[in-house]
Structure 1
Amino acid sequence: MLDTGGDSSLAERFRKGDPHALTEMYERFAAPMFATALNLLGDRELAADAVQLAFVQAWKAAGSFDAERELRPWLYAIVRRTAVDVYRRERRYTNTVPIDVLERETPVMSDTSMETAWNAWRVREALDSMSPEDRTVLYLAYFESLSQSEIAGCLAIPIGTVKSRTSRAHKRLASLLAPIFLTERKR
C-alpha cells in the first residue's frame, strides 16, 4: 500500500527521479519530518539541517526506493538517522577547545590520570575494532544515555534487534578487554 496521500504515482515518479515528485514530497512531509527532528535535537536550526540532509539522502537513494513501500516511514527513518548524524557532528564541534588554550594550559598528568587515559585509549581501540552495528548501540547507550527503546527509534530497528546487538556487543567488548585488564591485575 502506498502512502502518497491520494497520488498513487508519487512514489513511482520519485523512484524514477522526477524532481517534481521530490518537490511534492517536500511539501507533504517536510513539516512532520521537521517536528521529528526537532523532538530529537531540541534545536530548530539543527532540525532544519537534519531535514535538508534527509531529503538529499532520499533523493540520492531514489533509484533504489521500492515504490511498493510507504514513503512516510522510509522518510522518517532517514530523518531520524540524519538527526543523529547532525547531533554527533554538532557535539564534536562544540566540545573542541581552541589550540591556543591547550598551549597555555597544558596540565601535568599524575600517574593515576595517565593510567586512566591509557585505559580509555584501550577501550576506544577495542570499540573501534567492533562492527559498526555493535559499536553504534554501545555508543548510543553509554555516551548518549539512550534507553533501548530510544535506540530502536533512533536507528529505526526493532527493539529485539537492539537487545540482541547490545548483548552481542557487551560480550565482544568483554572478550576484547579481558586479556588486557586481567594481565594488569596479576601484576
Structure 2
Amino acid sequence: MNDTDAELYEQVHLGEKQALEKIYDRYEKLLFSLSYKITGQKELAEEVVQEVFIKLWTKKGIYSASKGKFSSWLMTMTRNTSIDQLRKRKEIPSDFEYGEIPSENPSVENLVEWKEEGSMLRQAISELGAEQQKMVDLFYFKGLSQQHIADEFDIPLGTVKGRIRLALKHLKKMVPQTNVKGGK
C-alpha cells in the first residue's frame, strides 16, 4: 500500500512508528541534501535531519494540508532548523542562495517542483524594489535577524520590518501558490 504523505503524517501523530519510518525513508536524502547545502557540514546536516524528525514525532511541527504540500512544509522546517543551528553556532554562510537544487538524488517530481517554485520565486523577487530584495535576501535566504539587518544598515528596526512585510505582500500577490510566510 502506497500511503500518501498526509495519511502517514496522521499516523505519526497517532504514535505509529512505522509511519515515521516510511516518511523518513521517503524524505531523508532530500532533507539531508537541503540541510547540507545550507550548513556545508555533513555532521550538522545529519543533526538537522534528526531534529526535524524528532519535531515530527513529538508533534512540535504541525502540518496543515490547507497551507500547502507536506513535502514543502517538511523542507521549510528543515531549512529553518538548519538556519537555527547555524545561528546557534554563529555560522551563517554568506553564499547561501535560494532556488538551488539539492545535490543528492531527489525524485524527478521534487526536482521539477523545486525548479518551478524557485524560478517563480526568483522572478517575483526580481520585480521587487532593490531595498525589498535586499531585505528578503538577508532575512529569508541568509538567515539574518531583522535586528541584525537594522544594525548592519543603520536603519530603524521598524523600517526593516516594514520593508519585509511589504515585500511579502507583493510576493503573495505575484506567486499565490507559493507558501510565503512572514517573520516576527
TM bucket (normalised to shorter chain) is 0.3 to 0.5
| TM-score (norm. length: structure 2) | 0.46
Bigger helix fraction: 1
| TM-score (norm. length: structure 1) | 0.46
- When Rg is computed on C-alpha atoms for both structures, the one with the higher figure is 1
